[in-house]
Amino acid sequence: MIAVKAEGIYKYYKSQGGKKEVLKNVSINIEEGEIFGILGPNGAGKTTLISILSTLSIPDSGKVEVFGIDALKDPNNVKCIVNISSGNPNFPWSLTVYENLKYFALLYGLENMEGSINNVIGMLELEKFRNTRFDSLSTGTKQRLSLAKSLLNDPHLLFLDEPTVGLDPDMAIKIRKLIKKIHDEKGITIVLTTHYMKEAEQLCERIAFIKNGEIIANAAPGELKRQMKLGEKIIIDYEGRFEITSLNDIPKILDIKYETGRVVIIAENIESILNTVLKKFCDVHINNIEISQPDLEDVFLQLAH
């Protein structure tokens, strides 16, 4: 089933020069049960798109369906089955963890309010902070509270907007594990925005890249790498005289970068041509060989510029 179907989304904001186009003809389908990433540089339109898909904002034109419900005509029914967690959570500062969760449970009109609160407190390991005021919590604990709030209504669709922004590496790893655990145990469809490419690569099954308000790529991380023809790299440091042109007749090589004493070869499948490449270096002394796979950061850099 399609969890989210967006077609032809446009969004404008007023500016001094008239109006600014923030989203341009954005169309995406998000499958039920997947973790879908939305990536792009600052100002690309990621948060605006999340706001529209979660019914917090209305597009100037286009269609949005969430689990078959028209999100523009019937936003209240959509709100019952979605929730959102921001990387910069802002809760009533004088309320405790429990009081904040009770406040939102009341807003959501939950029937089994105490049960829902206790469930998310246990899931996010917040019991020892139950009676701690929001303004006394660490950044990481605030993030966990934000996640707990977003799970109160047992949503079918969860939006996570920069869930690990500003966290130290250890806490970011814990939050990612929590997200993965929540997804695996509950089967929730998750839409994630992040600036951390390793986070996206670890969590997301598919990724859409937004640039200047337009989706310029949409595929699984591995497929994106293949589409960009980034290839694998073999870096060879050597001593002696080497003719770079001797590599030109080797198939599957996508690019060769050369400087004195070093050659960087980018190929579709390094393993299949490694022996052939090394034979070309038989008359020189090899100091070091390094083989590396392309990562999502390479894709991001290529798409963002």
Question: pLDDT of 130-168, one tens digit each?
Answer: 999 999 999 999 999 999 999 999 999 999 999 998 888
Q: Once rounded to an integer, what is the mean pLDDT over residues 31-55? A: 93
Spatial distance between the Cα atoms of 16 and 28, rounded to a whole number of angstroms: 31
* 171-191 exposure pattern, b = at least 16 Cβ within 10 A, e = fewer: bbebbbebbeebbeebebbbb
**Shortest CA distance to 43 belongs to which of 58, 23, 27?**
23
Q: Once rounded to an integer, what is the mean pLDDT over residues 118-125? A: 93
Average pLDDT of every residue of the chain: 91
Look at 34-43, 58-67, 138-147, 262-271 and tell me which has the smallest mean pLDDT: 262-271
Q: Give the chain's domains with CATH numbers.
A: 2-226 (3.40.50.300), 230-304 (3.30.70)
DSSP secondary structure string, 26-71? EEEEEETT-EEEEE-STTSSHHHHHHHHTTSS--SEEEEEETTEET
What proportion of the chain, given as a percentage, has pLDDT over 90? 60
149 versus 220: the higher-pLDDT residue is 149
- The pLDDT value recorded for residue 105 is 96
pLDDT of 34 strictly over 90: yes
- The pLDDT value recorded for residue 239 is 92
pLDDT range class, residue 84, cuts 50, 70, 90: very high
Q: What's this model's pTM, rounded to 2 decimal places?
A: 0.82
Give residue 180's identity as a one-letter amino acid code. Answer: K
Look at 5-14, 64-73, 214-223 and tell me which has the smallest mean pLDDT: 214-223
Look at 28-42, 179-193, 286-300 and tell me which has the smallest mean pLDDT: 286-300
Q: Phi and psi at residue 75, in whole multiples of 5°?
A: -65, -30
Spatial distance between the Cα atoms of 274 and 44, rounded to a whole number of angstroms: 40
Q: Is 11 helix (H, G, I), strand (E, B) or coil?
A: strand
- The pLDDT value recorded for residue 298 is 78
- The pLDDT value recorded for residue 88 is 84
Spatial distance between the Cα atoms of 91 and 135, rounded to a whole number of angstroms: 9
Q: Once rounded to an integer, what is the mean pLDDT over residues 73-90? A: 93
- The pLDDT value recorded for residue 229 is 65
Provide the strand spans (E) within the chain.
Answer: 2-15, 18-31, 35-39, 61-66, 69-70, 82-86, 157-161, 189-193, 206-211, 214-219, 232-239, 253-259, 262-267, 285-292
State the burial class of residue 199 (Cβ atoms within 10 Å of its Cβ: 0-12, 13-18, 19+): buried
Termini Cα distance of the chain: 35
pLDDT (tens digit per residue) in 236-294: 999 988 888 888 888 888 888 888 899 988 887 778 888 998 999 988 899 999 988 77
- Please check whether residue 105 is in contact with residue 113, taking contact to mean a CB–CB distance below 8 angstroms: yes
